[in-house]
Amino acid sequence: MIDSTLPDSMNFTIKVLDWYDRHGRKNLPWHAQKDPYRIWVSEIMLQQTQVETVIPFYQDFMCRFPDIVSLAEADLDEVMTHWAGLGYYSRARNLHQAARKICREHGGCFPQTLDEVMNLPGIGRSTAGAILAFSGDARHPILDGNVKRVLSRYHAVEGTPGKRETEKRLWALADRHTPEVRVAEYTQAIMDLGALVCRVRNPLCRECPVASGCLAHAQDRVASFPVPGNVRIRGHLHKPPNPHTTWILPL
């Protein structure tokens, strides 16, 4: 249970949504979509990849594979051809496998429960929650890299995000802030806030709608969160050379 001394969650949520109404990204090709398939593809493409890079690949992919059945019936080689240049190719293989699983087990209709979506190849809890929130406004918290950064800083969460207890706390915070209404917009809002304002480097704290309640900002420790952890490379543990280093490893 989250202690009662935490900043008011409703105040946080209202401010994030108000900021999104004025400054959030609303013209991306997958926005205003309610088709869970198209949302799913965009969410997978956006993992480890910048929005600007994803847009042309997404548009091409949707032209060739406009629905789950067309993706499931395609040869993997053709799917990989349309993914070429986007990187992290296991994502494309998982998409193809998942499409075939959906056709085989769900009659070609994207599943509608969190457990069923998480049971598809390449989809974890955060991605599953985002797909269901965007497609049906279902209330599921998300915890992608941007959201982890926002919540880690706002609540000054000590501990490496990869650790079980830290992850558990962050999920509890994500759930606490997720509203009962406007779930899809809030989900996009907090992701945009992390991508555009609460950035990894040079965060724009003066433009942040929740800076007044941010504990890391109040402590002048924004660059210290999220707490960096050790990284395993070729069987050895390595620490980042300084607390501001961000490690990005292949999936």
CATH of the domain at 121: 1.10.340.30
| Tens-place pLDDT, residues 25-72 | 999 999 878 999 999 999 999 999 999 999 999 999 999 999 999 999
3-class SS of residue 232: strand
List the catalytic residue out of 43, 105, 116, 167. Answer: 43
- Residues spanned by the domain of 186: 9-24+141-224
Residue 3 forms part of a structural domain: no
Overall number of domains in the chain: 2
Range from 7-11, 218-222, 226-230 that averages highest in pLDDT: 218-222
User: Both 66 and 128 in a single domain?
Assistant: yes
| Mean confidence (pLDDT) of the chain | 89
Residue 31 forms part of a structural domain: no
- Encode 54-123 in three state secondary structure: HHHHHHHHHHHCCCHHHHHHCCHHHHHHHHCCCCCCHHHHHHHHHHHHHHHHHCCCCCCCHHHHHCCCCC
Residue 4 forms part of a structural domain: no
User: Both 40 and 85 in a single domain?
Assistant: yes
User: Both 43 and 105 in a single domain?
Assistant: yes
Q: Which long-range contacts (CB under 8 A, 24 or more apart) does 119-127 make?
A: 120/94, 121/93, 121/94, 121/97, 122/44, 122/90, 122/91, 122/94, 122/95, 122/97, 122/98, 123/40, 123/44, 123/94, 123/98, 127/40, 127/43, 127/44, 127/47
User: Both 125 and 165 in a single domain?
Assistant: no
Residue 7 has pLDDT above 90, yes or no: no
pTM for the predicted model, two decimal places: 0.86
User: Both 157 and 113 in a single domain?
Assistant: no
User: Both 132 and 157 in a single domain?
Assistant: no
Quote the pLDDT of residue 161. 86
The reply to whether 73 belongs to the active site is: no
